[in-house]
Amino acid sequence: MSSQDGGRPTSAGRPRREPGPVLVAGDANLDLVLRGDIRPRFGQAEQFLTGADLVLGSSAGIMAAGLARLGVEVGLVARVGDDWFGERTLALLVDHGVDVAGVRTVPGPTGLSVILSDDDRAILTLPGAMAGLQAADVRLALAGSGAQHLHLASFFLLPELARDLPVLLARARAAGVTTSLDSNWDPTERWSGVAACLPHLDLLFPNATEAIELAGALGTGRPANALEGARVLAAAGPTVVVKDGADGGFAVSGTQVVRAAALPVRVVDTTGAGDSFDAGFLAGWVEGQPLADCLAWAVAAGSLSATATGGTAGQPARTDLLAALGRQP
C-alpha cells in the first residue's frame, strides 16, 4: 500500500490485494472479568459475584487475536513480566494464532486489568511490564517481520513508546508501511501527545468519547459531538474510524462520511469489543476492501465479540462474520 495518498479507502474501493502481515504493538496482559454485585462497598463488606473469568486481555492482544481469527497473519510486539501471568498471556496469544516472537519477557510483574462488568464497565489496571515498551522494540520487530501494516494500541499506557511514536510512525510510512492507532482512554484525561502522531497515521480508531476529547486537545475548541470531533481529527491526516457503541460506527475520510449500524445481538460482555472492531476493519482494509465494507466488517466483529465473556471468546472467524452480514465467503 502506498502511503503517498494516506492509504485512505474510498467508497469506490482500492485495488484488491492479498493481505500481508500485520504487526500490532502495545500492551499484553490478562483480564480478570468480574460480574454480578461488582460496585465495591468499603468497610469490609463482602459481596457475591455471578462470574469471574481470567482471560486474554489488553487492547493490542485482543486486537491481534481478532485479526488472527479473521485469517490475517499477525505478530505482536509487547513486554510481559517473568511471572505466571506473563507465561499465561503468551500461551493464550499462541493459542489464538498470534506470532509472539516480538514479545519480550522482562523482570517484574506482568500487567493486569480487573474489569468490573455491568451495564457499564470500570477498569483497574496495573501497568507492570507493559509500560516499558520502547520504540526500539517495535523497530526491531518491524524490521524482521515483513509487515505491511503497523497498528499501535494503548498509547496512554505506554509512556516510553508514546514519547517516540511520531518518529517511529514517520519512518514506518517512509518505508512503505501503513499505520494505525487506537489510543484508548487517557487515565490522566489530558489527551496530550496524539496530535503529533496524526500526520503520520493512515487510520485512527477512537470511540465516540475519545474522538471528542482527542479533537479538543488539538486546541481548536471542544467539539460538540463525535462526528465533529472525527472531522477535526481527519483534517489532520488520518481516516478516522469511530466506535459508536450501540449505534455501530462511522468513518470520516476527507469529506466522506460512512456509517454502519450495530448488529442485533444479545450482549453478554462488551470487554474488548472495540479492539475486535479494529480487527474487523483492518482485516478488510489490508486486502483493499472499500471503506463501507471495512466499516461493516468492523461493526460486525465488534457486535459478535460482545456475545461472550472477555475480549476473545466471541470473536468471529471470517465465515462467521460474512454470514452475520448476509454475504458469501
Neighbours of 274 (CB within 10 A): 25
Active-site annotation holds for 83? no
* Residue 259 DSSP label: E
What DSSP element (H or E) covers 173? helix 159-174
Q: Assign residue 246 a region (left: φ > 0; alpha: ψ between -120 and 50; beta: otherwise).
A: alpha
**DSSP annotation string for 37-100:** S-S--TTT----EEEEEEEE--HHHHHHHHHHHTT--EEEEEEEESSHHHHHHHHHHHHTT-EE
Are 61 and 76 spatial neighbours (Cβ–Cβ below 8 Å)?
Answer: yes
SS (H, E, C) 136-167: HHHHHHHHCCCCCEEEEECHHHCHHHHHHHHH
Residue entry with cell 466471541: 314
What is the SS3 assignment for 34?
Answer: strand
Rounded to whole angstroms, the Cα distance separating 61 from 12 reads 32
Of the candidates 244, 275, 278, 293, the residue annotated as catalytic is 275
Query: In the Cβ-directed half-sphere of 191, how many Cα atoms lie within 13 Å?
Result: 16
Q: Assign residue 233 a region (left: φ > 0; alpha: ψ between -120 and 50; beta: otherwise).
A: alpha
Are 178 and 202 spatial neighbours (Cβ–Cβ below 8 Å)?
Answer: yes
Rounded to whole angstroms, the Cα distance separating 87 from 102 reads 14
**Catalytic center residues:** 275
